[in-house]
Protein backbone atom coordinates (compact mmCIF):
# COMPACT_ATOMS: atom_id res chain seq x y z
CA UNK A 1 0.00 0.00 0.00
CA UNK A 2 2.98 2.32 0.50
CA UNK A 3 3.54 2.91 -3.22
CA UNK A 4 -0.18 3.28 -3.90
CA UNK A 5 -0.46 5.93 -1.17
CA UNK A 6 2.54 7.80 -2.57
CA UNK A 7 1.14 7.64 -6.10
CA UNK A 8 -2.26 8.92 -4.94
CA UNK A 9 -0.66 11.84 -3.11
CA UNK A 10 1.50 12.63 -6.14
CA UNK A 11 -1.49 12.57 -8.48
CA UNK A 12 -3.53 14.81 -6.17
CA UNK A 13 -0.77 17.42 -5.83
CA UNK A 14 0.23 17.40 -9.50
CA UNK A 15 -2.37 19.98 -10.68
CA UNK A 16 -1.36 22.37 -7.89
CA UNK A 17 2.31 22.08 -8.78
CA UNK A 18 1.57 22.67 -12.45
CA UNK A 19 -0.47 25.74 -11.50
CA UNK A 20 2.38 27.00 -9.30
CA UNK A 21 4.91 26.41 -12.08
CA UNK A 22 2.83 28.40 -14.55
CA UNK A 23 2.06 31.09 -12.00
CA UNK A 24 5.73 31.55 -11.11
CA UNK A 25 6.58 32.15 -14.77
CA UNK A 26 3.61 34.46 -15.35
CA UNK A 27 4.34 36.63 -12.31
CA UNK A 28 8.08 36.88 -12.92
CA UNK A 29 9.03 40.36 -14.09
CA UNK A 30 12.41 42.00 -14.33
CA UNK A 31 13.40 44.80 -11.97
CA UNK A 32 10.86 43.76 -9.32
CA UNK A 33 13.35 42.52 -6.71
CA UNK A 34 11.97 42.33 -3.13
CA UNK A 35 8.50 43.34 -4.29
CA UNK A 36 5.33 41.49 -3.28
CA UNK A 37 5.00 40.25 -6.87
CA UNK A 38 8.52 38.79 -6.81
CA UNK A 39 7.92 37.14 -3.43
CA UNK A 40 4.76 35.50 -4.75
CA UNK A 41 6.54 34.29 -7.88
CA UNK A 42 9.43 32.94 -5.83
CA UNK A 43 7.08 31.13 -3.44
CA UNK A 44 5.29 29.45 -6.33
CA UNK A 45 8.59 28.48 -7.96
CA UNK A 46 9.86 26.84 -4.76
CA UNK A 47 6.56 25.01 -4.19
CA UNK A 48 6.56 23.66 -7.76
CA UNK A 49 10.00 22.14 -7.16
CA UNK A 50 9.10 20.35 -3.92
CA UNK A 51 8.43 17.16 -5.82
CA UNK A 52 10.01 13.89 -6.85
CA UNK A 53 10.43 12.94 -10.49
CA UNK A 54 10.92 9.47 -11.95
CA UNK A 55 12.67 10.13 -15.25
CA UNK A 56 16.40 10.28 -15.73
CA UNK A 57 17.64 13.87 -16.08
CA UNK A 58 19.84 14.54 -19.13
CA UNK A 59 23.58 14.07 -18.76
CA UNK A 60 23.96 17.38 -20.58
CA UNK A 61 27.62 16.77 -21.49
CA UNK A 62 27.62 18.72 -24.73
CA UNK A 63 31.38 19.05 -25.13
CA UNK A 64 34.69 18.42 -23.41
CA UNK A 65 38.05 20.17 -23.54
CA UNK A 66 41.07 18.04 -24.37
CA UNK A 67 44.14 20.20 -24.04
CA UNK A 68 43.36 23.42 -25.87
CA UNK A 69 40.71 21.87 -28.14
CA UNK A 70 36.98 21.47 -27.56
CA UNK A 71 35.22 18.36 -28.84
CA UNK A 72 31.46 17.83 -29.15
CA UNK A 73 30.19 14.84 -27.18
CA UNK A 74 27.33 12.59 -28.30
CA UNK A 75 25.66 9.80 -26.33
CA UNK A 76 25.85 6.45 -28.06
CA UNK A 77 24.04 3.27 -26.97
CA UNK A 78 26.50 0.37 -27.13
CA UNK A 79 24.37 -2.33 -25.54
CA UNK A 80 20.76 -2.08 -24.38
CA UNK A 81 19.15 -4.44 -21.88
CA UNK A 82 15.83 -4.21 -19.99
CA UNK A 83 17.38 -3.09 -16.70
CA UNK A 84 20.29 -1.02 -17.99
CA UNK A 85 22.08 0.44 -20.98
CA UNK A 86 25.79 0.62 -21.70
CA UNK A 87 26.13 4.24 -22.78
CA UNK A 88 29.19 5.77 -24.43
CA UNK A 89 30.10 9.46 -24.38
CA UNK A 90 31.68 9.63 -27.80
CA UNK A 91 33.88 12.56 -28.78
CA UNK A 92 33.10 13.72 -32.31
CA UNK A 93 35.92 14.41 -34.78
CA UNK A 94 38.51 13.07 -32.36
CA UNK A 95 40.26 10.67 -34.73
CA UNK A 96 43.58 12.52 -34.49
CA UNK A 97 43.71 12.44 -30.69
CA UNK A 98 46.35 10.26 -29.01
CA UNK A 99 45.08 6.94 -27.65
CA UNK A 100 42.61 7.39 -24.81
CA UNK A 101 41.99 4.25 -22.72
CA UNK A 102 38.37 3.04 -22.49
CA UNK A 103 36.87 3.45 -19.02
CA UNK A 104 33.66 1.84 -17.76
CA UNK A 105 32.19 4.08 -15.06
CA UNK A 106 29.97 1.89 -12.87
CA UNK A 107 27.14 3.90 -11.31
CA UNK A 108 25.32 2.86 -8.14
CA UNK A 109 21.80 1.47 -8.30
CA UNK A 110 20.67 3.10 -5.08
CA UNK A 111 17.67 5.36 -5.56
CA UNK A 112 19.24 7.92 -7.91
CA UNK A 113 20.00 7.77 -11.62
CA UNK A 114 23.48 7.38 -13.07
CA UNK A 115 23.42 11.11 -13.88
CA UNK A 116 24.56 11.56 -10.28
CA UNK A 117 28.01 10.82 -11.77
CA UNK A 118 27.73 13.47 -14.48
CA UNK A 119 30.71 15.45 -13.18
CA UNK A 120 32.75 12.27 -12.69
CA UNK A 121 32.13 11.26 -16.30
CA UNK A 122 32.89 14.70 -17.70
CA UNK A 123 36.21 14.87 -15.85
CA UNK A 124 37.21 11.38 -16.99
CA UNK A 125 36.36 12.36 -20.58
CA UNK A 126 39.35 14.70 -20.76
CA UNK A 127 41.77 11.76 -21.02
CA UNK A 128 39.62 8.68 -21.61
CA UNK A 129 36.97 7.07 -23.79
CA UNK A 130 34.16 6.94 -21.23
CA UNK A 131 31.27 4.47 -20.93
CA UNK A 132 28.68 4.39 -18.14
CA UNK A 133 26.18 1.89 -16.70
CA UNK A 134 22.91 3.75 -17.26
CA UNK A 135 20.49 1.89 -14.97
CA UNK A 136 16.78 2.00 -15.78
CA UNK A 137 13.93 2.73 -13.41
CA UNK A 138 12.59 -0.66 -12.28
CA UNK A 139 9.03 0.65 -12.24
CA UNK A 140 9.29 1.02 -16.03
CA UNK A 141 10.50 -2.56 -16.62
CA UNK A 142 7.76 -5.05 -17.46
CA UNK A 143 7.36 -8.18 -15.33
CA UNK A 144 8.00 -10.31 -18.44
CA UNK A 145 11.70 -9.44 -18.15
CA UNK A 146 11.92 -11.37 -14.89
CA UNK A 147 13.70 -10.52 -11.64
CA UNK A 148 16.98 -8.64 -11.21
CA UNK A 149 19.25 -9.61 -8.35
CA UNK A 150 22.89 -9.17 -7.39
CA UNK A 151 23.93 -11.96 -9.76
CA UNK A 152 22.19 -10.13 -12.60
CA UNK A 153 24.06 -6.93 -11.70
CA UNK A 154 27.36 -8.82 -11.87
CA UNK A 155 26.20 -10.33 -15.20
CA UNK A 156 25.70 -6.81 -16.56
CA UNK A 157 29.15 -5.79 -15.34
CA UNK A 158 30.75 -8.70 -17.18
CA UNK A 159 28.70 -8.25 -20.38
CA UNK A 160 29.32 -4.50 -20.48
CA UNK A 161 33.07 -4.98 -20.00
CA UNK A 162 33.12 -7.62 -22.74
CA UNK A 163 31.17 -5.31 -25.06
CA UNK A 164 33.82 -2.61 -24.67
CA UNK A 165 36.53 -5.22 -25.21
CA UNK A 166 40.08 -5.98 -24.02
CA UNK A 167 41.96 -3.06 -22.53
CA UNK A 168 39.01 -1.73 -20.52
CA UNK A 169 39.50 0.04 -17.20
CA UNK A 170 36.72 -0.05 -14.59
CA UNK A 171 35.92 2.77 -12.15
CA UNK A 172 33.21 1.88 -9.62
CA UNK A 173 31.65 4.45 -7.31
CA UNK A 174 30.07 3.57 -3.94
CA UNK A 175 27.65 0.62 -3.81
CA UNK A 176 28.80 -1.23 -6.99
CA UNK A 177 32.36 -1.63 -5.69
CA UNK A 178 31.38 -5.08 -4.41
CA UNK A 179 29.82 -6.13 -7.73
CA UNK A 180 32.74 -4.67 -9.72
CA UNK A 181 35.26 -6.58 -7.60
CA UNK A 182 33.20 -9.77 -7.94
CA UNK A 183 32.85 -9.40 -11.73
CA UNK A 184 36.60 -8.80 -12.09
CA UNK A 185 37.33 -11.89 -9.97
CA UNK A 186 35.00 -14.08 -12.06
CA UNK A 187 36.52 -12.81 -15.31
CA UNK A 188 40.03 -13.39 -13.97
CA UNK A 189 39.17 -16.93 -12.87
CA UNK A 190 37.75 -17.62 -16.35
CA UNK A 191 40.83 -16.04 -17.97
CA UNK A 192 38.48 -13.75 -19.89
CA UNK A 193 40.46 -11.68 -22.45
CA UNK A 194 38.28 -8.67 -21.58
CA UNK A 195 39.11 -8.70 -17.86
CA UNK A 196 39.89 -5.11 -16.81
CA UNK A 197 43.41 -3.76 -17.04
CA UNK A 198 42.71 -1.72 -13.91
CA UNK A 199 40.00 -1.50 -11.27
CA UNK A 200 39.39 1.68 -9.26
CA UNK A 201 37.06 1.37 -6.26
CA UNK A 202 35.85 4.68 -4.83
CA UNK A 203 34.08 5.01 -1.47
CA UNK A 204 32.54 1.54 -1.62
CA UNK A 205 31.30 -0.84 1.12
CA UNK A 206 33.72 -3.70 0.50
CA UNK A 207 33.93 -4.59 4.21
CA UNK A 208 31.30 -2.88 6.37
CA UNK A 209 32.66 -4.43 9.56
CA UNK A 210 35.35 -1.74 9.53
CA UNK A 211 34.39 1.55 11.24
CA UNK A 212 30.62 1.01 10.84
CA UNK A 213 28.67 4.17 10.03
CA UNK A 214 25.09 5.03 10.99
CA UNK A 215 24.04 3.68 7.59
CA UNK A 216 25.77 0.37 8.36
CA UNK A 217 24.21 0.22 11.82
CA UNK A 218 20.76 0.82 10.38
CA UNK A 219 21.20 -2.11 8.00
CA UNK A 220 22.05 -4.45 10.88
CA UNK A 221 19.39 -3.11 13.27
CA UNK A 222 16.64 -5.25 11.74
CA UNK A 223 16.48 -8.73 10.21
CA UNK A 224 16.21 -8.94 6.42
CA UNK A 225 12.58 -10.04 6.79
CA UNK A 226 11.78 -6.64 8.30
CA UNK A 227 13.20 -4.85 5.27
CA UNK A 228 11.17 -7.05 2.93
CA UNK A 229 7.94 -6.58 4.86
CA UNK A 230 8.20 -2.84 5.47
CA UNK A 231 10.15 -1.38 2.54
CA UNK A 232 9.19 -3.45 -0.50
CA UNK A 233 6.16 -2.43 -2.56
CA UNK A 234 4.44 -3.43 -5.78
CA UNK A 235 4.50 -0.92 -8.65
CA UNK A 236 0.97 0.45 -9.15
CA UNK A 237 -0.84 1.25 -12.37
CA UNK A 238 -0.36 2.89 -14.87
CA UNK A 239 3.39 2.11 -14.98
CA UNK A 240 4.97 -0.47 -17.30
CA UNK A 241 6.33 -2.42 -14.35
CA UNK A 242 2.87 -2.87 -12.81
CA UNK A 243 3.07 -5.44 -9.95
CA UNK A 244 6.87 -5.63 -10.02
CA UNK A 245 8.29 -5.74 -6.49
CA UNK A 246 10.56 -2.76 -5.89
CA UNK A 247 12.31 -0.78 -3.21
CA UNK A 248 10.85 2.64 -4.09
CA UNK A 249 13.31 5.40 -4.82
CA UNK A 250 11.16 7.85 -2.87
CA UNK A 251 11.77 5.80 0.30
CA UNK A 252 15.54 5.92 -0.22
CA UNK A 253 15.65 9.65 -0.92
CA UNK A 254 13.32 10.35 2.01
CA UNK A 255 15.71 8.41 4.26
CA UNK A 256 18.69 10.41 2.97
CA UNK A 257 16.87 13.71 3.53
CA UNK A 258 15.75 12.65 7.01
CA UNK A 259 19.41 12.30 7.98
CA UNK A 260 19.85 16.07 7.64
CA UNK A 261 16.43 17.75 7.26
CA UNK A 262 17.54 21.20 8.38
CA UNK A 263 20.12 21.39 5.61
CA UNK A 264 17.48 20.72 2.95
CA UNK A 265 14.99 23.15 4.50
CA UNK A 266 17.66 25.83 4.53
CA UNK A 267 18.53 25.14 0.90
CA UNK A 268 14.96 25.85 -0.20
CA UNK A 269 14.84 28.95 2.01
CA UNK A 270 18.05 30.10 0.34
CA UNK A 271 16.59 29.47 -3.10
CA UNK A 272 13.54 31.55 -2.23
CA UNK A 273 15.72 34.38 -0.92
CA UNK A 274 17.98 34.32 -4.00
CA UNK A 275 14.94 34.53 -6.29
CA UNK A 276 13.49 37.43 -4.32
CA UNK A 277 16.83 39.26 -4.36
CA UNK A 278 17.36 38.62 -8.06
CA UNK A 279 20.45 36.43 -7.57
CA UNK A 280 19.42 34.03 -10.31
CA UNK A 281 22.79 32.28 -10.66
CA UNK A 282 22.74 31.18 -7.01
CA UNK A 283 19.11 30.09 -7.25
CA UNK A 284 19.87 28.08 -10.39
CA UNK A 285 22.69 26.25 -8.59
CA UNK A 286 20.23 25.05 -5.95
CA UNK A 287 17.59 24.26 -8.59
CA UNK A 288 20.05 22.15 -10.59
CA UNK A 289 21.15 20.21 -7.52
CA UNK A 290 17.59 19.35 -6.46
CA UNK A 291 16.45 18.55 -9.99
CA UNK A 292 19.07 15.77 -9.82
CA UNK A 293 18.67 14.86 -6.15
CA UNK A 294 14.88 14.52 -6.35
CA UNK A 295 14.94 12.39 -9.52
CA UNK A 296 14.40 8.93 -8.03
CA UNK A 297 15.01 5.48 -9.41
CA UNK A 298 13.19 2.41 -8.04
CA UNK A 299 15.36 -0.62 -7.28
CA UNK A 300 14.31 -4.19 -8.10
CA UNK A 301 13.37 -5.80 -4.78
CA UNK A 302 15.65 -8.78 -5.33
CA UNK A 303 18.71 -6.62 -5.86
CA UNK A 304 17.96 -4.37 -2.88
CA UNK A 305 17.34 -7.21 -0.42
CA UNK A 306 20.35 -9.24 -1.56
CA UNK A 307 22.59 -6.17 -1.29
CA UNK A 308 21.37 -5.34 2.22
CA UNK A 309 21.81 -8.92 3.37
CA UNK A 310 25.05 -9.98 1.64
CA UNK A 311 26.94 -6.67 1.71
CA UNK A 312 25.71 -4.95 4.88
CA UNK A 313 24.54 -7.77 7.17
CA UNK A 314 26.49 -10.98 6.52
CA UNK A 315 29.61 -9.46 4.87
CA UNK A 316 29.83 -12.28 2.33
CA UNK A 317 32.66 -10.86 0.20
CA UNK A 318 35.29 -10.22 2.91
CA UNK A 319 34.38 -13.51 4.61
CA UNK A 320 34.89 -15.47 1.38
CA UNK A 321 31.22 -16.54 1.18
CA UNK A 322 29.88 -14.44 -1.71
CA UNK A 323 28.31 -16.62 -4.38
CA UNK A 324 27.80 -15.86 -8.06
CA UNK A 325 25.66 -18.35 -10.00
CA UNK A 326 26.69 -21.09 -7.55
CA UNK A 327 30.40 -20.18 -7.67
CA UNK A 328 32.35 -18.72 -4.76
CA UNK A 329 33.79 -15.33 -5.66
CA UNK A 330 37.55 -15.38 -5.11
CA UNK A 331 39.26 -11.95 -5.34
CA UNK A 332 42.63 -13.70 -4.99
CA UNK A 333 42.10 -14.95 -8.55
CA UNK A 334 42.76 -11.41 -9.80
CA UNK A 335 46.38 -11.20 -10.97
CA UNK A 336 46.60 -9.06 -14.12
CA UNK A 337 44.40 -6.14 -13.01
CA UNK A 338 45.91 -3.10 -11.29
CA UNK A 339 43.94 -2.00 -8.21
CA UNK A 340 43.30 1.45 -6.78
CA UNK A 341 41.09 2.26 -3.79
CA UNK A 342 39.96 5.77 -2.85
CA UNK A 343 38.34 6.90 0.40
CA UNK A 344 37.15 10.21 1.82
CA UNK A 345 38.37 11.27 5.26
CA UNK A 346 34.92 12.51 6.32
CA UNK A 347 32.80 9.89 4.55
CA UNK A 348 29.84 9.08 6.82
CA UNK A 349 28.34 6.53 4.40
CA UNK A 350 31.36 4.33 3.57
CA UNK A 351 33.88 5.03 6.30
CA UNK A 352 37.65 4.99 5.98
CA UNK A 353 38.82 1.39 5.94
CA UNK A 354 35.81 -0.15 4.22
CA UNK A 355 37.08 0.28 0.65
CA UNK A 356 40.79 -0.30 1.24
CA UNK A 357 39.81 -3.76 2.52
CA UNK A 358 39.84 -4.79 -1.15
CA UNK A 359 43.64 -4.50 -1.11
CA UNK A 360 43.96 -7.47 1.26
CA UNK A 361 41.30 -9.50 -0.54
CA UNK A 362 43.17 -9.15 -3.84
CA UNK A 363 46.22 -10.91 -2.45
CA UNK A 364 47.58 -12.09 -5.82
CA UNK A 365 48.06 -8.60 -7.27
CA UNK A 366 51.69 -7.49 -7.03
CA UNK A 367 52.21 -4.72 -4.43
CA UNK A 368 53.58 -2.29 -7.03
CA UNK A 369 50.26 -2.57 -8.93
CA UNK A 370 48.21 -1.55 -5.88
CA UNK A 371 47.44 2.04 -4.90
CA UNK A 372 45.42 3.55 -2.07
CA UNK A 373 44.47 7.18 -1.53
CA UNK A 374 42.66 8.84 1.36
CA UNK A 375 41.43 12.30 0.43
CA UNK A 376 41.48 14.72 3.32
CA UNK A 377 38.63 17.12 3.89
CA UNK A 378 35.93 15.37 1.83
CA UNK A 379 32.86 13.31 2.63
CA UNK A 380 31.19 10.70 0.47
CA UNK A 381 30.21 12.84 -2.51
CA UNK A 382 33.47 14.75 -2.45
CA UNK A 383 35.29 11.59 -3.49
CA UNK A 384 33.78 11.72 -6.99
CA UNK A 385 32.65 15.32 -7.47
CA UNK A 386 33.75 18.82 -6.61
CA UNK A 387 37.04 20.65 -6.47
CA UNK A 388 39.11 18.01 -4.68
CA UNK A 389 37.90 15.27 -7.04
CA UNK A 390 38.96 17.35 -10.04
CA UNK A 391 42.22 18.68 -8.67
CA UNK A 392 43.56 15.99 -6.32
CA UNK A 393 41.80 12.64 -6.77
CA UNK A 394 41.31 12.52 -10.53
CA UNK A 395 44.99 13.11 -11.43
CA UNK A 396 45.91 10.06 -9.32
CA UNK A 397 43.19 7.93 -10.92
CA UNK A 398 44.26 9.08 -14.40
CA UNK A 399 47.93 8.34 -13.75
CA UNK A 400 47.12 4.85 -12.43
CA UNK A 401 44.97 4.05 -15.47
CA UNK A 402 47.56 5.27 -17.96
CA UNK A 403 50.37 3.45 -16.14
CA UNK A 404 48.35 0.23 -16.51
CA UNK A 405 48.02 0.58 -20.29
CA UNK A 406 51.61 -0.23 -21.12
Q: Among positive and negative, which fits the CA dihedral 204, 207, 212, 217?
A: positive
User: Which whole number is the average pLDDT over 249-262?
Assistant: 83
Backbone angles phi, psi at 390, to 5 degrees: -70, -40
In the prediction, which pLDDT does 263 show? 86
pLDDT mean over 202-228: 95
* DSSP one-letter string for 298-356: PEEHHHHHHHIIIIIIS-TTTTT--EETTEE--GGG--SSEEEEEEETT-SSS-TTTTT
Taking residues 265-271, what's their average pLDDT?
91
**CATH class of residue range 66-217+300-405:** alpha beta
How far, in whole angstroms, is CA 62 from its chain's centroid?
A: 20
The per-residue pLDDT for 298 is 96
Residue 63 has pLDDT above 90, yes or no: yes
Rounded-to-integer distance, Cα 64 and Cα 54, Å: 28
Note whether 316 and 323 are within 8 A (CB).
yes
Element (H, E) at 190: none
Residues 220-230 have a mean pLDDT of: 96
CA 263 from chain center: how many Å?
21
Among 88-97, 233-242, 259-268, 324-333, the least confident range: 259-268
Q: Taking residues 275-303, what's their average pLDDT?
A: 91
Q: Is 120 in contact with 105 (CB distance < 8 Å)?
A: yes
Output the pLDDT for position 256: 76
Domains of the chain, by residue range, sit at 2-51+251-293, 66-217+300-405
Per-residue confidence at 118, pLDDT binned at 50, 70, 90? very high
Q: Is the pLDDT of residue 233 over 90?
A: yes
Res 141: pLDDT: 97
Q: Confidence band (pLDDT; 50, 70, 90) for 15?
A: confident
Q: What is the pLDDT of residues 28-37, one digit of tens each?
A: 888 888 888 8
Q: What number is the average pLDDT over the span 270-292?
A: 90
Confidence at 353, pLDDT banded by 50, 70, 90: very high
Residue 124: C-alpha distances to residues 26, 100, 118, 253, 296 (Å): 41, 10, 10, 27, 25
At 260, the pLDDT band (50, 70, 90 cuts) reads confident
pLDDT confidence band for 7 (50 / 70 / 90) = confident
Residue-level pLDDT at 49: 86
Rounded to the nearest integer, the mean pLDDT of the chain is 93
Confidence band of 26 (pLDDT split at 50, 70, 90): confident
Q: Which tens digit of pLDDT belongs to each residue from 66-107?
A: 988 999 999 999 999 999 999 999 999 888 899 999 999 999
Mean pLDDT of the 177-200 span:
98
pTM for this entry: 0.92
Residue 239 has pLDDT above 90, yes or no: yes
Q: What is the pLDDT of residue 406?
A: 67
Per cent of the chain over pLDDT 70 is 100
Q: pLDDT digit string (tens) for 361-376?
A: 999 999 999 999 999 9
SS3 state of residue 399: helix
Distance separating alpha carbons of residues 140 and 246, to the nearest angstrom: 11
Q: Inform me whether the pLDDT recorded for 199 exceeds 90.
A: yes
Q: Is the pLDDT of residue 139 over 70?
A: yes
Amino acid sequence: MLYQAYQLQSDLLSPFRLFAQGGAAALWMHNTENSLLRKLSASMDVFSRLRLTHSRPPYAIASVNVGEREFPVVEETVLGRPFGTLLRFKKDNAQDLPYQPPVLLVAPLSGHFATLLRETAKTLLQDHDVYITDWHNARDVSLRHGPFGLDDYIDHMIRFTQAIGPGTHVVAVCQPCVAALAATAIMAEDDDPAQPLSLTLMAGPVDCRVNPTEVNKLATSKPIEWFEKNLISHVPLPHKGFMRRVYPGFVQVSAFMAMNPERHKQSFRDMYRHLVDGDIAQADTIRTFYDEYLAVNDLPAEFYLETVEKVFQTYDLPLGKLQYRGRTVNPAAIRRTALMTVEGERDDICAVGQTVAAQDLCSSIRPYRKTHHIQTGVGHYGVFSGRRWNQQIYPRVRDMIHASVG
